């Protein structure tokens, strides 16, 4: 049980009343189910990136490290038109199958971000991926094994 301290004010008497309220925490299985649903979504979006020939695709479980998302997908594209194609295919499937519309970039840049809330997709050109190196920055994240053959990283 989590105990929250609640403050209520009585405006007519200028009194502040603090009270302790017990709040039932959701069972661990509910949190795991939320993560399982997000994981399934992340893996499917990674598969879409792979189908459009993205390379070095990584899915990272970052929930223990950040408060604002559960999974990162990091992928490399080799041109802005390819970034656009990957982003478009991901947006289309996410909206049609899951009813999710991302916030973030709509025009292809050297680093395009699609934020679905529980899953954040990063699509990089190789120099930007090397420069920002999110895998190193989030080195404590848990990598997720993908159920498809992934193209190896491109190194010049």
Query: Would you say residue 138 lies in a domain?
Result: yes
Query: Would you say residue 50 lies in a domain?
Result: yes
The domain total for the chain is 1
Q: What is the pLDDT of residues 142-156, one digit of tens each?
A: 999 998 877 666 555
Residue 125 belongs to domain spanning: 31-144
Query: What pLDDT is attached to residue 149?
Result: 77
Q: What is the pLDDT of residues 76-133, one digit of tens each?
A: 999 999 999 999 999 999 999 999 999 976 676 899 999 999 999 999 999 999 999 9
Query: Would you say residue 6 lies in a domain?
Result: no
138-141 long-range CB contacts below 8 Å, 24 or more apart?
Answer: 138/60, 138/62, 138/65, 138/72, 140/64, 140/65, 141/60, 141/61, 141/62, 141/64, 141/65, 141/72
Query: Would you say residue 3 lies in a domain?
Result: no
- Residue 16 vs residue 37, higher pLDDT: 37
Query: Would you say residue 117 lies in a domain?
Result: yes
Query: What pLDDT is attached to residue 153?
Result: 66
Percent of the chain with pLDDT over 90: 67
CATH number at residue 44: 3.30.460.10
- 3 forms beta bridges with 22
Query: Would you say residue 97 lies in a domain?
Result: yes
Query: Would you say residue 46 lies in a domain?
Result: yes
Task: Quote the CA–CA distance of 103 and 2 in Å, as a whole number.
Answer: 33
Q: Is the pLDDT of residue 63 over 90?
A: yes
Query: What pLDDT is attached to residue 23?
Result: 42
Query: Would you say residue 114 lies in a domain?
Result: yes
* Residue 54 banded pLDDT, cuts 50, 70, 90: very high
């Amino acid at each position: 049980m989590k105990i929250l301290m609640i403050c209520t004010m009585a405006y007519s008497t200028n009194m502040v009343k603090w009270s302790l309220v017990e709040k039932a925490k959701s069972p661990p299985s509910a949190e795991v189910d939320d993560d399982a649903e997000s994981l399934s979504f992340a893996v499917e979006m990674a598969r879409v990136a792979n189908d459009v020939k993205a390379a070095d695709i990584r899915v990272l479980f970052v929930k223990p490290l950040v408060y604002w998302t559960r999974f990162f997908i990091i992928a490399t594209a080799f041109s802005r038109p390819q970034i656009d194609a990957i982003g478009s295919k991901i947006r289309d499937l996410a909206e049609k199958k899951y009813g999710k519309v991302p916030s973030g970039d709509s025009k292809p840049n050297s680093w395009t971000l699609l934020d679905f809330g529980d899953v954040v997709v990063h699509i990089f050109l190789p120099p930007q991926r090397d420069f920002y190196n999110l895998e190193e920055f989030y080195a404590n994240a848990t990598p997720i094994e993908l159920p498809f053959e992934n193209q190896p990283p491109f190194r010049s």
